Amino acid sequence: TSEKSDTDIRFVCRGTFVHSTAEEALQILEDALLGVDSKGKIAFIGEGKDLQKLSESFGFCSSAVTQLRQHEFFMPGMIDTHIHAPQYSYAGTALDMPLLQWLNTYTFPVESRFQDIEFAKKVYTQVVKRTLRNGTTTACYFATIHTDASLLLGQIANDFGQRALVGKVCMDRNDGVKYYRETSEESQEETYRFIKELLNKKYPLVKPVVTPRFAPSCTETLLAKLGEMAKNNKLHIQSHISENLKEVEWVKELFPNSESYTDIYHKCNLLTDKTIMAHGCHLSDEELVLFRKTGAALSHCPNSNISLCSGVLNVRNVLNHKVKLGLGTDVAGGYSPSILDAVRRALDSSKVLTIQDPEHKTLSFEEVFRLATLGGSQALSLDERTGNFKVGKDFDALRVNVAAPGGPIDLIQSEKPQILLEKFLNLGDDRNIVEVFVAGKKVVPFSEP
Ligand code: GUN
Ligand code: FE
């Protein structure tokens, strides 16, 4: 009696699927069937008694079904909500200074080199490949102030099939650093050119994002112009906020007429439901309320927060304020390009808060799994298309083999999916990520563009 659907099915996967929903941090579907249509979208997902009905109504042939093996599962692709692509060139070094000294000593000299398009091509290819290989199906990138190199980052993400938001960095003040800053007019004009040219490329998975570096590197005039540009074109916005106490003090001096760090961005129309701000370690509850009201999101970058001794974000408090939150690597303030590392550092940071205050409710691995997937997707306002395995969304997924030969995990004490996921999150690495899909296309293992 079931009706036949005319959706054409590209492939079907059968096995264990784990993902998050608004209601459940970890939902497990065992021996489930998931179909991907010709547009790369999830056409159906079901388990148990639905199986017979699904195969009848979608009428795919059994040879189109990929059966997962023992110790394998599918999970949604991971989302890096904050990463500096140029800084990948010195990731794993230069972690001996607090933020403001670190920027002047290491970051600005390196970023200024991205005027050289060949250097940019080399580093940007490496960072896109490395993050994809580690299961980052969506990355929200900062590039540098250089428009052409920033456009190249968009092209490279597109060529390798990574979903990406890419920002040309804006900074019209940088005290004492003449070699790495723009005039206000340049910053506005080049941002406009960047957005126009990137949109003209019509890359299906790559979008521009308006990117004032952070309040101290922008005049109020520039911040207001960028806010206007984002508003008129309904664009994403990204920046940094309240990462380090010295930075917060400095911002107070630079903007004496603002009530708070958050208020500066708010007054310039930079807090919208398409805004993501990195760190936020030192935000007040009143500022979190403003995030909630405007729909702006936070990116939690725990490796960076620890590595640069910036602070410890209280994620529980952010979630209690119902502010959207995802995870970020913040390469190279964070030394690891892998979101699996961000998951572990987020759990560690939450446990440190519990050590300091036993009343603090520690994050569970299931909650952090949600931040790495659905949370990131919501934080980037991409949750209509990504973040979990809901029908109609794009199939962005990792095929994980917890017992991958030559991989880091030996002992499988249990085949229970939640145990396999916990093992992978705590001990796994790219050797366990057998395949990566973005919008239904297999992008790992690589087929070189
Ligand atoms: N604040 C302004 N710029 C940066 C940057 O490049 N990295 C980090 N972690 N914080 C910043
Ligand atoms: Fe950052």
Q: For 63-97, what is each residue's pLDDT tens digit?
A: 778 999 999 999 999 999 999 999 999 999 999 99
Q: Of the candidates 327, 189, 210, which has an alpha carbon nearest to the alpha carbon of residue 268? A: 210
Q: Which residues contact ligand 1 via a Cβ below 6 A?
A: 84, 99, 103, 107, 213-214, 240, 243, 304, 330, 333
pLDDT of 174 higher than 50: yes
Average confidence (pLDDT) over 124-152: 98
Q: Which helix (H) or strand (E) holds 10?
A: strand 9-19
Residues 384 and 429 sit within 8 Å (Cβ to Cβ)? no
Question: Which residue, by CA, sits nearest to atom 7 of ligand 1?
Answer: 333
Decide if 295 contacts 322 (C-beta within 8 A).
no
Atom of ligand 1 nearest to the CA of 216: 2
pTM value > 0.90: yes
187-to-74, 90, 192, 223, 332 alpha-carbon distances in Å: 43, 26, 9, 10, 24
Nearest ligand, measured from the Cα of 82: 2
Q: Specify the pLDDT at position 90.
A: 98
Q: What is the pLDDT of residue 185?
A: 98
Ligand nearest to the CA of 143: 1
Instruction: Give CA–CA dist 286/195, Å, rounded.
Output: 33
Q: If we measure between CA atoms, which residue out of 407, 385, 405 comes closest to residue 396?
A: 385
Ligand 1 center–CA 136 separation, angstroms: 21
Q: Residue 429: left (phi > 0), alpha (psi -120 to 50), or beta?
A: beta
Given a cut of 70, whether residue 442 has pLDDT beyond it is yes
* pLDDT above 90: residue 1: no
Residue 26 and residue 106: Cα distance in Å, rounded?
40
How far, in Å, is the centroid of ligand 1 from the Cα of 309? 13
Q: How far is the CA of 83 from the centre of ligand 2 (A)?
A: 6
Question: Residue 3 — pLDDT band, cuts 50, 70, 90?
Answer: low
Nearest CA-CA partner of 114 in 142, 136, 91: 142
The protein residue with its alpha carbon nearest to ligand 1, atom 3, reads 213
Alpha-carbon dihedral sign for residues 64, 67, 72, 75:
positive
Phi first, then psi: give them for residue 260, nearest 5 degrees.
-160, 170
**Which numbered atom of ligand 1 lies nearest the CA of 308?**
9
Confidence grade of residue 449 (pLDDT, cut at 50, 70, 90): low
From the list 22, 43, 45, the residue with the least C-alpha distance to 374 is 22
Mean pLDDT for the stretch of residues 223-234: 98
Closest ligand to Cα 333: 1
By alpha-carbon position, which residue is closest to atom 8 of ligand 1?
Answer: 333
Q: Can you read off the two tokens belonging to residue 157? A: 């993400």
Q: How far is CA 436 from CA 209, 357, 367, 401, in A?
A: 25, 39, 22, 12
Does the structure show a pLDDT above 80 at 124?
A: yes
Give 448's pLDDT tier (boundaries 50, 70, 90). Answer: low
Q: Residue 313's pLDDT is what?
A: 98
On average, the pLDDT of the chain sits at: 96
Nearest-CA residue for ligand 1 atom 11 is 240
| Residue 49: pLDDT over 80 | no
Which band of pLDDT confidence, cut at 50, 70 and 90, is reported for residue 62? confident
In angstroms, what is the span from residue 370 Cα to ligand 1's centroid? 25
Do the beta carbons of residue 148 and residue 90 sit within 8 Å? Answer: no
Q: What pLDDT, on a 0 to 100 scale, did the predictor assign at position 109?
A: 97
Q: Which helix (H) or strand (E) holds 435?
A: strand 433-438
- d(CA 360, ligand 1 centre) in Å: 28
| CA separation for the pair 147, 85 (Å, rounded) | 14
Query: 67 phi and psi, to 5 degrees?
Result: -100, 125
- Angle among Cα 78, 84, 85 to the nearest 5 degrees reads 85
Give me ligand 2 centre to Cα 142, in Å.
Answer: 8
Q: Residue type at 40?
A: G
For 255-307, write each residue's pLDDT tens digit: 999 999 999 999 999 999 999 999 999 999 999 999 999 999 999 999 999 99
Contact in structure between 94 and 332 (CB atoms under 8 Å): yes
Average pLDDT, stretch 21-45?
A: 97
CATH numbers and ranges of domains, the chain: 9-76+388-444 (2.30.40.10), 78-379 (3.20.20.140)
- Please determine, for residue 102, whether its predicted confidence score (pLDDT) is greater than 60: yes
Ligand 1 pocket: which of 81, 175, 213, 241 to mutate (most atoms within 8 A of CB): 213
Q: If you measure from the C-alpha of residue 32 to the centroid of ligand 1, how many angstroms do you get, rounded to a whole number? A: 43
Q: Are strands 72-76 and 441-444 parallel, antiparallel or unpaired?
A: unpaired
- Tell me what the mean pLDDT of segment 230-246 comes to: 98
> Is the predicted pLDDT of residue 409 greater than 90, yes or no?
yes
Q: pLDDT grade, residue 173 (50/70/90)?
A: very high
* Interval 239-248: pLDDT, tens: 999 999 999 9
